A and B are shown apart, each in its own frame.
Chain A
Amino acid sequence: EPEVTQTPSHQVTQMGQEVILRCVPISNHLYFYWYRQILGQKVEFLVSFYNNEISEKSEIFDDQFSVERPDGSNFTLKIRSTKLEDSAMYFCASSVRWDQPQHFGDGTRLSIL
């Protein structure tokens, strides 16, 4: 069964550094998402992406965050200048349509030192 893949599985970065989290969504899916879960908290929506543009973003998704689909397969989340509070598990998801179930990757654990 096709799946969403995320790399790396764990990323350790110094505060203030840029980080790029990578995702390969399922190939026929058109809607892409990023969520995150800070330890002990709920899974939070960050951003949804369709037709090469952001369709919705949360308050968390400020100017330090950006998303890109640089080619036909990858979907990336960039954090420009990381803060300690960005430490979390980041999940990528994709779906065929906006109202269909979302398929999640295994996540990238981001640790900011």
Chain B
Amino acid sequence: ILNVEQSPQSLHVQEGDSTNFTCSFPSSNFYALHWYRWETAKSPEALFVMTLNGDEKKKGRISATLNTKEGYSYLYIKGSQPEDSATYLCAPRRSGNTGKLIFGQGTTLQVKP
């Protein structure tokens, strides 16, 4: 069983604060890590797919890093805005071509204006 842990479970920050969360996963048979952003009453939206150790991806104010050897990824949000309020899910994928994603429980971010 692939155990994926995300921390913290929830986070409340003020508008303009920068924040980061962690995704931990077993490093064996690692193939890729997906990050999703999930707003209330909407569908999960893909943010990043990361595959290489040391990989860094960026999309606007959101960036992510990947360490496949120790099995973790960080997601950073610079200068949080109220529209960043959402649940952020990570999902590692193991070797194999079925596309199966195993999700963590998510980090719920609330940005107060």
B46, CB-defined interface residue at 8 Å: yes
Main secondary structure of the interface of B (DSSP, over half): loop
A91, CB-defined interface residue at 8 Å: yes
| Option from A58, A98, A101 in Cβ contact (under 8 Å) with B46 | A101
Given A4-B43, A43-B89, A101-B46: A55 and B103 within 8 A (CB)? no
Asked if residues A99 and B99 are in contact (CB atoms below 8 Å), the reply is: yes
Interface of B toward A, CB cutoff 8 Å: 31-32, 34, 36, 41-46, 49, 89, 93, 96-106
A103, CB-defined interface residue at 8 Å: yes
Interface of A toward B, CB cutoff 8 Å: 3-4, 31, 33, 35, 41-45, 48, 50, 55-56, 58, 91, 95, 98-107
Asked if residues B97 and A43 are in contact (CB atoms below 8 Å), the reply is: no
Given A43-B89, A99-B31, A99-B32: A104 and B44 within 8 A (CB)? yes
Shortest Cβ distance from residue A109 to the other chain B in the assembled complex, whole angstroms: 11
In angstroms, Cα B49 to Cα A103, docked, is 13
Interchain Cβ contacts within 8 Å, total number: 65
Asked if residues A104 and B43 are in contact (CB atoms below 8 Å), the reply is: yes
| Option from B44, B93, B103, B105 in Cβ contact (under 8 Å) with A99 | B93
Asked if residues B99 and A98 are in contact (CB atoms below 8 Å), the reply is: yes
> Smallest CB-CB separation from B6: which chain A residue?
A42
Chain A hits for B34, CB < 8 A? 101-102
> Nearest 5 pairs between A and B by C-beta?
A101-B46, A56-B98, A98-B99, A104-B43, A43-B103
In angstroms, Cα B31 to Cα A56, docked, is 17
Chain B hits for A56, CB < 8 A? 96, 98-100
Asked if residues A106 and B42 are in contact (CB atoms below 8 Å), the reply is: yes
